[in-house]
Amino acid sequence: MPQPILYFVRHGETDWNRERRLQGQHDIPLNPLGRSQAQRCGVLLRDLLARGGRSITDYDYVSSPLGRARETMELMRGTMALEPSLYRTDARLMEMSFGRWEGFTYAELQVREAAALVERERDKWGFVLPGGESYAQLEARVQVWYDGIRRETVATAHGGVCRVLMAHLGLVQPSEASMGDIGQGVVYVFDGHTMTRHE
């Protein structure tokens, strides 16, 4: 049985994104650009889902429980003329925990955590952040969620979640996935073998 199609949206921009601060599991709201990006994704999704010839209500809608992902989902659904609140959350879609690094920029961490940053560069995928997670640990929980998808799904989550999906599906090597930029205001479509980007 083929893997159901996943329409994946990273949450819109927050002020911490703009400042290049590590958010992890801190609950930072969307800023005005982020809300605009979420609405843009609603327009993109409405068009993409209509191509399949099915009603947009036939899809499963699920979000990370973090506020920035939920707000993105609700703005998208509103733009699609769907009831904003009718979706599920799943904790396995939460962003990777950056532990005690959350709230800091990389420039600030180079002063505070220089030795740990050097160690992380040796194995960015496997390195467990102080008090947090590694990409490998994030991949393990996202894999369980993804492998359990039973119908075509629209999901809102985070950049790290998208990176580990790409690695889990063998679309990129983990070392590449950990460095790639995951766009905001973009819809990623995963079919189990390929990924396409729509913006």
CA distance 79 to 59: 16
Distances (CA, A) of 99 to 30, 74, 81, 125, 128: 21, 28, 38, 16, 9
Other C-beta atoms closer than 10 Å to the C-beta of 53 total 6
The values of phi and psi at residue 141, to 5°, are: -80, -35
| Cross-strand bridge partners of residue 9 | 156, 187
**Would you say 26 and 12 are in contact if contact means Cβ atoms under 8 Å apart?**
no
Residue 101 CB partners (closer than 8 Å, separation 6+)? 22, 24, 109, 113, 129, 130, 132
Q: Is 158 a catalytic residue?
A: no
| Paired sense of beta strands 60-63 and 153-157, if any | parallel
Q: Is 198 a catalytic residue?
A: no
In the block, residue with structure tokens 């396995």? 92
CA distance 43 to 49: 10
Catalytic residue chosen out of the listed positions 74, 95, 113, 139? 95
Q: Which residues form the catalytic set? A: 11, 95
